[in-house]
């Protein structure tokens, strides 16, 4: 696990600025505190920071081919590297290390760009082909590891985190209005955009090839949920259990201490159960909890820990965490409104005192059908019993309650399914735009359809409602929210997080499982519950999803009230030309009086202002704010 950076130029006479690349690597040293390494040659500079996990003493990067013509830096793990290594050695390649990264250079020599599709794991990599002066960037199938780039005149700059790219001269700090629109709508920026106009994300399952100043992209993998596997239920149950066990076994590969994040929910308990069956020593497990009972999962986690005899550790997150918010915001690079990132960081920091690698249950909801919103897709009687054409013509106001909640429900009732789903979990749906957005932002956006990022994959799935929703979430919510959260927060704590439920073979398998084997009679994750029933306590199998929420509402009505007011009522936020101050005041008033629950909206605006103070005001983005003890 590590972080990578680099720059390449068409100018062969003058190598890129080595000091720049070293500075870029230092800025992301939290991703790899153990070591660094660089490839410096005319026109190319690659750098990396290493968190040593495999071949601790011998696996330094960059890793080179036998003749030195091909060099690679990689962030992540290649879980099938032993099988690839055996195949390549049989073809005559000689290996110098035991590290998984070395299979990439020899695989490129043997298969060219086709080696990327042979890799099983989580990775973002940069490979320099010196003989052909070609740079290859690649990102894993589901986007577990990040990779950002800026294509400028005659050169390309890239890195694991945006903050590193901002050190490079010539990269504009101008904001992308469409990225702001994405953030205010969803709470995160949808790829391939970033909040900065000049910087982009490499999409999951894609290659970027730079050659002679020209860039081309190639997609090597993409998931579409079809639900077309009609084999008997029992056969699917057995195959899923085998896939789960194999995915966990692959992720136990480590030369350093290893454990698991445990909430006591079905997904994390599945991972711990399979780990316990594959290891002789007790699994180290880690849980974050809260004083507020409705958000605290510690007792659920304790039951699972006792059942499997784990070496269990836990902590309580309290509202004094505001002292750490600048550092967490700095680490996220972009405005990011998923409050569960807070708890994720704390549990990762606690785990780092005991282990270097932690398995997590992230990604199960998208594939297995675990979100309550999947169950609720067709439950509104306005939608279930009235065709869309009638809903758009009839006066439905009398059928919904008054107030903000009724207004939102009435609005969604008049939408088709893709837009209805996209808006159902939006923070500020598009009909808020005219009231919330400052005139400058409205003018820049014109008639842009901010929901297209969700509706396009929903429609492409072309099958049942669940398949459309899952396809949209796997391509949008998963890589741009869930995986951003787990990568940035675990890396800030210098811990490697592995997500076995996101093994691409499991995702592809579940994409073909019919909808009625994912959700049945209102029960989510039906097939996963069947597969894990022999291994997990019945209380876990039957438990509903709780989520990894944070009790911000309790805190903002109490200890954090002053913090919220300072962030949202300061003229600095309204003066940025992004949102309107008068509308923010109205949201706060409605929330305080109980007229509406605007918690997610207020938190999104707080995160935006905190980010702007660090990245836009002065030079604060260059410095890592101190984290409270």
User: Are 216 and 137 spatial neighbours (Cβ–Cβ below 8 Å)?
Assistant: no
pLDDT at residue 261, rounded to an integer: 97
Q: What is the DSSP letter of 256?
A: S
The average pLDDT across 489-500 equals: 96
User: Are 49 and 41 spatial neighbours (Cβ–Cβ below 8 Å)?
Assistant: no
Of the candidates 230, 213, 112, which has an alpha carbon nearest to the alpha carbon of residue 154? 213
pTM for the full model? 0.93
pLDDT at residue 22, rounded to an integer: 96
Regarding predicted confidence, which is higher, 66 or 231? Answer: 231
The pLDDT of residue 334 is above 90: yes
| Two tokens, residue 508 | 């592809």
Instruction: Say if strands 121-129 and 148-152 run parallel, antiparallel, or are unpaired.
Output: unpaired
Q: List, by residue number, the catalytic residues.
A: 2
> Of 223-232, 408-417, 517-526, which range is least confident?
408-417
Per-residue pLDDT tens digits for 540-565: 998 776 665 677 777 777 777 888 88
The neighbour count for residue 500, using CB atoms within 10 Å, is: 29
User: Are 602 and 556 spatial neighbours (Cβ–Cβ below 8 Å)?
Assistant: yes
Of the candidates 443, 438, 433, which has an alpha carbon nearest to the alpha carbon of residue 579? 438
- Give strand ranges (E) for 308-347: 311-316
| DSSP notation for 143-189 | --S--EEEEETTEEEEESSHHHHTTSTT----B-HHHHHHHHHHSSP
Radius of gyration of the chain, Cα coordinates, nearest whole angstrom? 24
Of the candidates 315, 220, 255, which has an alpha carbon nearest to the alpha carbon of residue 58? 255
User: Are 218 and 209 spatial neighbours (Cβ–Cβ below 8 Å)?
Assistant: yes
> Of 218-232, 323-337, 399-413, which range is least confident?
399-413
242 Cβ neighbours under 8 A, 6+ residues apart: none
What percent of the chain has pLDDT above 70?
A: 90
User: Are 245 and 270 spatial neighbours (Cβ–Cβ below 8 Å)?
Assistant: no
201 Cβ neighbours under 8 A, 6+ residues apart: 146, 147, 148, 191, 192, 193, 194
The average pLDDT across 211-226 equals: 95
Q: How confident is the model at residue 410 (pLDDT cuts 50, 70, 90)?
A: low
Burial of 131 (0-12, 13-18, 19+ CB in 10 A): exposed
User: Are 263 and 312 spatial neighbours (Cβ–Cβ below 8 Å)?
Assistant: no
Tell me what the pLDDT averaged over the chain comes to. Answer: 90
The neighbour count for residue 211, using CB atoms within 10 Å, is: 15
The pLDDT of residue 217 is above 60: yes
Of the candidates 481, 502, 480, 453, which has an alpha carbon nearest to the alpha carbon of residue 223? 502
CA angle (142 as vertex; 141, 144 as ends), nearest 5: 110
Which residues share a beta bridge with 261? 286
The pLDDT of residue 626 is above 50: no
| Angle subtended by helix axes 561-568 and 599-615, to nearest 10 | 60
User: Are 4 and 47 spatial neighbours (Cβ–Cβ below 8 Å)?
Assistant: yes
The pLDDT of residue 403 is above 60: no
The span from the CA of 130 to the CA of 12, in Å, is 12
Per-residue pLDDT tens digits for 168-207: 999 999 999 999 999 999 999 999 999 999 999 999 999 9
């Amino acid at each position: 696990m590590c972080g990578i950076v680099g720059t390449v130029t068409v100018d062969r006479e003058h190598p890129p600025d080595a000091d720049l690349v070293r500075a870029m690597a230092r800025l992301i040293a939290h991703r790899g505190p153990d070591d660094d390494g660089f490839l410096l040659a005319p026109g190319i500079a690659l750098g990396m920071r290493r968190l040593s996990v495999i071949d601790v003493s011998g696996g330094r990067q960059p890793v080179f081919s036998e003749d030195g013509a091909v060099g690679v830096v990689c962030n992540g793990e290649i879980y099938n590297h032993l099988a690839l290594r055996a195949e390549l050695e049989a073809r005559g390649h000689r290996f110098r290390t035991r590290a998984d990264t070395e299979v990439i250079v020899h695989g490129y020599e043997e298969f060219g760009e086709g080696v990327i599709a042979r890799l099983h794991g989580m990775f973002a990599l940069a490979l320099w082909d010196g003989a052909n002066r070609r740079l290859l960037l690649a990102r894993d199938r589901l986007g577990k590891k990040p990779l950002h780039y800026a294509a400028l005149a005659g050169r390309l700059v890239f890195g694991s985190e945006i903050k590193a790219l901002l050190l490079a001269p010539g990269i504009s700090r101008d904001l992308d209005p469409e990225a702001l629109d994405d953030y205010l709508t969803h709470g995160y920026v949808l790829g391939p955009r970033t909040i900065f106009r000049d910087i982009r994300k490499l999409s999951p399952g894609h290659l970027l090839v730079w050659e002679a100043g020209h860039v081309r992209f190639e997609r090597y993998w993409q998931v579409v949920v079809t639900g077309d596997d009609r084999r008997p239920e029992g056969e699917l149950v057995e195959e899923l259990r085998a896939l789960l066990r194999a995915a966990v076994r692959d992720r136990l590969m480590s030369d350093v201490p290893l454990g698991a994040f445990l909430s006591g929910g079905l997904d994390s308990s599945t991972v711990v159960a399979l780990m316990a069956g594959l290891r002789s020593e007790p699994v180290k497990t880690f849980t974050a909890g809260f004083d507020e009972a409705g958000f605290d999962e510690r007792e659920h986690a304790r039951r699972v820990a006792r059942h499997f005899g784990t070496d269990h550790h836990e902590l309580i997150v309290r509202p004094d965490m505001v002292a750490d918010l600048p550092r967490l915001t700095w680490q996220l690079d972009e405005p990011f409104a998923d409050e569960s990132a807070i708890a994720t960081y704390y549990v990762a920091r606690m785990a780092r005192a005991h282990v270097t690698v932690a398995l997590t249950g992230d990604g199960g909801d998208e594939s297995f059908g675990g979100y309550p919103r999947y169950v609720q897709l067709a439950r509104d009687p306005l939608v279930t019993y009235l065709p869309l054409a009638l809903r758009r013509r009839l006066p439905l106001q009398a059928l919904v309650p008054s107030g903000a909640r009724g207004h939102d429900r009435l609005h969604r009732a008049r939408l088709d399914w893709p837009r209805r789903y996209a808006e159902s979990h939006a923070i500020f749906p598009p009909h808020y735009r005219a009231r919330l957005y400052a005139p400058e932002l409205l003018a820049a956006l014109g008639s842009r359809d901010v929901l297209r990022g969700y509706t396009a994959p929903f429609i492409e799935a072309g099958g049942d409602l669940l398949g459309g929703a899952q396809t949209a979430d796997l391509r949008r919510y998963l890589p741009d929210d869930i995986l951003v959260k787990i990568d940035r927060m675990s890396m800030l704590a210098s811990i490697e997080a592995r997500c076995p439920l996101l093994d691409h073979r499991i995702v592809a398998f579940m994409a073909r499982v019919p909808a009625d084997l994912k959700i049945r009679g209102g029960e989510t994750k039906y097939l996963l519950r069947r597969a894990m029933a022999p291994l997990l306590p019945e209380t876990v199998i039957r438990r509903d999803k709780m989520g990894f929420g944070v009790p911000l509402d309790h805190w903002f009505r109490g200890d954090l009230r002053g913090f919220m007011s300072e962030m949202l009522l300061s003229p600095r936020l309204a003066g940025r030309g992004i949102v309107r101050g008068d509308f923010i005041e109205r949201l706060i008033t409605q929330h305080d009086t109980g007229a509406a629950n605007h918690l997610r909206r207020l938190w999104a605006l707080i995160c935006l202002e905190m980010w702007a103070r660090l990245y836009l005001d002065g030079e604060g983005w260059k410095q890592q704010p101190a984290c409270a003890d």
